[in-house]
C-alpha cells in the first residue's frame, strides 16, 4: 500500500486520513484565527499531533514517514527517549 493509498483509504464507518487531516487543519486554522495575537494551548492525542506535524512544519506529508518501497516507519520529532538514562 502506498502512502497515497493510506492517505485516501476510507475504513468502514470511519474517516480517511485525508478527511481527518482536513478536519484538523480547518479546526486549527479557525482556532488560530479567533485568537490572533494570543497564546493558546491545544491538547490532543498523538494521532492528531502526528497528522498535524507536516502542516505545522510546512513540509509534505511524505516527510512524516520513511518509506522503503514496502514498509512505512514513522519519523520522530523531539524524541527525548534517549534522556531516560
Provide the 10 A C-beta neighbour count for residue 51. 20
Instruction: Kindly report the CATH number assigned to the domain that includes residue 48.
Output: 3.40.50.1240
Task: Please give the pLDDT value at position 21.
Answer: 92
pTM for the full model?
0.69
CB 24 within 8 A of CB 32: no
pLDDT by position in tens, the chain (length 85) = 777 888 899 999 999 999 999 999 999 999 999 999 999 998 988 888 888 888 888 888 777 776 677 777 777 777 777 777 6
Task: Please give the pLDDT value at position 7.
Answer: 87
> How many domains does the chain divide into?
1
Cα 68 to Cα 70: distance, rounded to the nearest angstrom: 6
Residue 71 belongs to domain spanning: 3-84
Cα 7 to Cα 39: distance, rounded to the nearest angstrom: 31
Amino acid at each position: 500500500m502506498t502512502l497515497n493509498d493510506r492517505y485516501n483509504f476510507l475504513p468502514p464507518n470511519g474517516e480517511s486520513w485525508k478527511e481527518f487531516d482536513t478536519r484538523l487543519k480547518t479546526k486549527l486554522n479557525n482556532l488560530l484565527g479567533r485568537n490572533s495575537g494570543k497564546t493558546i494551548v491545544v491538547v490532543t492525542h498523538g494521532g492528531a499531533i502526528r497528522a498535524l506535524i507536516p502542516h505545522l512544519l510546512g513540509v509534505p506529508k511524505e516527510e512524516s514517514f520513511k518509506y522503503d518501497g514496502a514498509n512505512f516507519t514513522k519519523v520522530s520529532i523531539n524524541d527525548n527517549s534517549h534522556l531516560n538514562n
